Amino acid sequence: MMSCVNAEKYYRLQDIISESFSLLSGSGIDNPRLEAELIISYYTKLNRLQMLLDGAHKISESKREDIIGSVRRRCNREPIQYLLGEVWFYGFQFKVKKGVFIPRPESEFLVEEGIKFASGSEGHKREGLNIVDLCTGSGAVGITLAKEILYSRIYATDISPLSIEQTSWNARHLGVSDRIDLFIGDLFEPLKNRLPAGSVNLIVSNPPYIATSDINSLPPEVRDHEPRAALDGGRDGLDLIRRIIEGSAEFLIDNGCLLLEVGQGQAGMIKDYIGKNPVFKSLEFRYDYAGIERIAILHG
C-alpha cells in the first residue's frame, strides 16, 4: 500500500481551544477562555458560536502554529489589540499595530464632549468647524469626530510617523480622508504656517500624561509593549498638557474650546496652572465612569 508523504496533519478545534486556554490561564491572563477564542477566531474566521458547536472542526498544523504563536505572545503580555490588529472605538473599528498607542474607552468622552461643543456651536453647519487633534495616535478621536460631525475639517498631528501612517489608513478605511489633514510633528508645530491665528473652533487631545516615575508601575501590557512616547508626560505628567494649553490660545477663535484627556489626580494641578496662567475663561471637568476627573473642558 502506498503511503501519502504529503498528508497534512490536522488538529481538532476543541483541542486547540484547550491548549490555548491552559497556556493563557497558566500565565495569569484574566479572561483566558475569551482571549483564546478571540485569537482562534482571528485565524480560523469561525465565530464563537461556530467554535462552540463544531469542536471537531479540523485545524491544519500551520494554522495551529500561528494560533499557538499568538497565544504565546499574549502570555508574554502583548496586548490582544496588537495581536488582532484592531480595536473598537465609539462603534468604529480601527486598525492598530505595535508602535501605535491603543485607543482607550475613556477617550470616547473626548469625542462626546466634542460633539456636544459642535452641536451647541452657532452656525457650524453654515461655516463648518475646524478641529485640531493633537497626539492623534491611531486617529481614533479625530476620525470619530470627522464621522460624527459632518460639517468639520480635522487637522491631526503626531510626532510619530508610524501613528500618522496608521491614522491615514484608518481615515481611508472609515471614509473620511477627504476631511482630515495629517501632519507629522510636535504638537502645533506643523500647523504654524498652515492655519491662521484664531481659525480653529475646537482642539482635542489625549496627550501622554503619565508621570515618568509611574511608568514602571503600569500593567506590563502598557509598560512593555505600548510606545513610551505616547505615555510619558514628564516629571509630573503635565509637560505636554501645559504646552498644549499655552499653544492653543493662538489658534482658537473667540468662544473656541480645548478638550484634554488628563490622568487621575491631575485636575487640581491643572486648576492651579490655569489660575496662574489665565489663558482660558473657564475650566471644568467631565468625570469618567470610575469617578475620575478625566476630561478638562476649557473655554476661550
Taking residue 277's Cβ as centre, other Cβ atoms within 10 Å add up to 12
Q: How far is the CB of 300 from ligand GLN (least distance, A)?
A: 23
Q: Name residues whose C-beta falls within 8 Å of residue 72's C-beta, 6 or more positions apart in sequence.
A: 23
**Residue 206 touches ligand GLN, criterion: CB under 6 A:** yes
Q: How many residues bind ligand GLN (CB under 6 A)?
A: 9
Place of cell 486556554: 21
Closest approach of ligand GLN to the CB of residue 142, in Å: 15
Cα distances (angstroms) measured from residue 181 to each of 23, 130, 165, 190, 216 = 44, 11, 12, 11, 35
Contacts of 228 (CB under 8 A, 6+ apart): 215
Grid cell digits, residue 32: 483566558
Q: For residue 222, state whether it binds ligand GLN (rule: CB under 6 A).
A: yes
- Taking each helix axis as running N to C, give the angle between helix 32-44 and helix 13-26, from 0 to 180 degrees, rounded to the nearest 10: 140
CB of 210 to ligand GLN, least distance (A): 5
Q: Which stretch binds ligand GLN (CB under 6 A): 11-19, 171-179, 206-214, 246-254?
A: 206-214
Question: Which three three-digit cell numbers place residue 139?
Answer: 486617529
Between 208 and 256, name the residue whose CB sits nearer to ligand GLN: 208
Q: Is 211 in the site for ligand GLN (CB under 6 A)?
A: no
Candidate segments 116-124, 157-165, 171-179, 200-208, binder of ligand GLN by CB under 6 A: 200-208
Q: What angle do CA 203, 297, 190 make, to 5 degrees?
A: 20
When binding is defined by CB under 6 A, the residue of 140, 171, 210, 283 that contacts ligand GLN is 210
Q: Does 208 bind ligand GLN (CB under 6 A)?
A: yes
Among residues 142 and 208, whose Cβ is nearest to ligand GLN?
208
Name residues whose C-beta falls within 8 Å of residue 132's C-beta, 6 or more positions apart in sequence.
154, 155, 156, 157, 188, 191, 195, 200, 202, 203, 204, 251
Counting contacts by CB under 6 A, is residue 231 touching ligand GLN?
Answer: yes
Choose between 181 and 226: whose C-beta lies nearer to ligand GLN: 226
Q: How far apart are CA 220 and CA 79, in angstroms?
A: 9
Binders in 92-121 for ligand GLN, by CB under 6 A = 104, 106
Q: 118 vs 231, which CB is nearer to ligand GLN?
A: 231
209 forms part of the interface with ligand GLN (CB under 6 A): yes
Calculate ∠ Cα 206-212-215, nearest 5°.
Answer: 80
Which window, 59-67, 85-93, 203-211, 246-254, contacts ligand GLN (CB under 6 A)? 203-211
- Which span sits near ligand GLN by CB under 6 A: 75-83, 149-157, 179-187, 204-212? 204-212
Least Å from the CB of residue 106 to ligand GLN: 6
- Tell me if 149 sits within 8 A of 116, measured CB to CB: no
Binding site for ligand GLN (CB under 6 A): 104, 106, 206-210, 222, 231
